[in-house]
Amino acid sequence: MTVKLTREGPYALLTLDRPEALNALSFDIIRQIDAALEQARLWDIRALIITGAGDKAFCAGADIKKLMGRSLEEQKRGAELGQVTFAKLDRFPVPSIAAINGYAFGGGMELAMACTFRVAGPGARMGLPEVKLGLIPGYGGTQRLPRLVGEARAMELILTGRTVKPEQALQIGLVNQVVEVDVVAAAIAFADQFSGYSKLALNFARDAVQRALSVPLSEGLRIEVDLSTLAYQTEDADEGMSAFIEKRIPQFKDR
Ligand code: DAK
């Protein structure tokens, strides 16, 4: 298997393990990522962390050697396969964090953008260089990048194919954190910030934020009324507010 799924305490760690090809995404690897997501969703975990094996790459993008010589229909199915899998990641039942340990190009950056959060190590380099190959992003890049960094910056990165380093990625909002140390350890520490909260509250909040940019403000505010009302109905909300009043640490049960 070129995709490995392991447990790290309360978290699942998904590792793309094809360092000899800089963890490039063949269609088979995308299917393996899909299967790993299906497996991990059955686990009792608080977050999913994704990284790449080796010290050079998170993922150098779609496997260019396998993209060629395919019919129009096969290419369309290939793009849909990646999009369906990355959408599963986007809607995964717990937050996900891309631990970007090196190159994250093309499909690799699209994989990172489908995660809830991104933590970049010192060697991280990010970009959507598809235009240099006469292509455009096919796994969600043209849609998720403007949502993360705004239209002007997304347009610039996609049309120039330019690479960004960690500090600039942080500055434009492409990554949440830049670290000088082991990026997986940093992603675990990042997850520790929210892993003690109610999964229900986290998911209601994620759902509301994710929908914010695709609906008009008035509809988004209605969504917030509905989701915040649902959150209020949970046992965890009772527990959280009781714990505050009783001056103790809440024990959330995801109910
Ligand atoms: N695909 C296949 N092999 C790759 C690869 C990739 N994306 N990236 C690297 N490799 C392989 C290299 O070929 C080399 O293998 P050997 O030649 O030794 O067998 C090995 O990994 C090590 O790479 P390098 O020798 O090149 O390593 P360097 O450190 O010198 O350079 C690099 C690292 C990341 C700068 C360079 O490898 C590079 O530029 N890689 C390509 C990056 C890239 O352009 N990525 C974007 C791919 S396009 C669609 C679906 C998806 C997409 C579009 C449409 N449809 C189905 C419609 C998305 C497209 C993309 O992601």
d(CA 57, CA 149): 23
d(CA 101, CA 166): 11
User: Which pLDDT value is given to residue 70?
Assistant: 86
User: Which of 130, 156, 224, 239 is labelled catalytic?
Assistant: 130
User: Which pLDDT value is given to residue 1?
Assistant: 86
Q: In this predicted model, what pLDDT tens digit does every residue of 96-130 receive, in sequence order?
A: 999 999 999 999 999 999 999 999 999 999 999 99
State mean pLDDT over 197-226.
Answer: 97
Question: Whose Cα sits closest to atom 59 in ligand 1?
Answer: 62
Active-site annotation holds for 180: no
User: Which pLDDT value is given to residue 67?
Assistant: 85
C-alpha dihedral, 65 to 67 to 71 to 75, nearest 10°: 170
Q: In this predicted model, what pLDDT tens digit does every residue of 154-165 receive, in sequence order?
A: 999 999 999 999
Q: What is the mean pLDDT of the chain?
A: 97
* Ligand 1 atom nearest residue 81's Cα: 56
Give 115 Cα–ligand 1 centroid separation in angstroms. 21
C-alpha closest to that of 37 among 82, 80, 74: 82
pTM above 0.95, yes or no: yes
Q: In this predicted model, what pLDDT tens digit does every residue of 13-40 receive, in sequence order?
A: 999 999 999 999 999 999 999 999 999 9
Q: Walk me through the domains of the chain, giving residue ranges and CATH numbers.
A: 3-192 (3.90.226.10), 199-245 (1.10.12)
pLDDT tier at 255 (50, 70, 90 boundaries)?
Answer: very high
Ligand 1 and 70: CB distance under 6 A: no
Active-site annotation holds for 130: yes
C-alpha closest to that of 209 among 252, 148, 151: 148
Q: CB under 8 Å to 69, separation ≥6 — which residues?
A: none
Give 22 Cα–ligand 1 centroid separation in angstroms. 7
